[in-house]
Amino acid sequence: MDRDLRNLNPEEYALLKDAAAYIVILIAGADGNIDATEIEWAEKIVHIRTYTGDERLKDFHQELDSELPAKLKQLIAELPKDVAKRSEIVSEKLTGLNPILASLPPAIGAYLYKSFVTYARRIATSSGGFLGFMTVSAEEKKWVGLPMLTPVIFNSEEEE
């Protein structure tokens, strides 16, 4: 486990990793249809972060990359098909990230927060629009900024 995440208990660490799958389901499923393009793009983004993400979280990103496809299948099978019910459950799960992000070193908490919001936005723009890109549906707009998360701000001039 990465040095900056080692103080998390197993449940907190699991939720931090599961957040990617929850975000995919929330955003891609907002219109009632989690399509293959959105899932492929979400998995590709996670893979890219294994080599472009914050070096301090290399192990985290690698674990997430290997576990995301199975976690997505599991959650899609387990969560309600009704969009409103599913979105409510997923939003509540993601709200559980707030104390976890706040407990991390500020630079890491801010990085993960921004990473989750960027991830949501990229999933939202992966399907639809001109040639299949760059349009966020009305249903996705409600969730794309991950309003259930409290922003974690880090000023790089501050000490860590």
Give the residue extent of every domain in the chain: 3-141
The two structure tokens encoding residue 91: 């939003």
pLDDT in tens, 79-130: 999 999 999 999 999 999 999 999 999 999 999 999 999 999 999 888 755 4
Mean pLDDT across the chain: 91
Instruction: Write down the pLDDT at residue 134.
Output: 53
DSSP per-residue letters across 79-124: S-SSHHHHHHHHHHHHHTHHHHHHHS-HHHHHHHHHHHHHHHHHHH
The two structure tokens encoding residue 84: 């409103």
Which amino acid would we find at residue 89? I
How far is Cα 102 from Cα 124, in angstroms, rounded to an integer? 26
* Cβ(46)–Cβ(66) below 8 Å: no
| 36-52 helix and 58-78 helix, angle to the nearest 10 degrees | 160
The two structure tokens encoding residue 22: 């929850």
Instruction: Write down the pLDDT at residue 138.
Output: 79
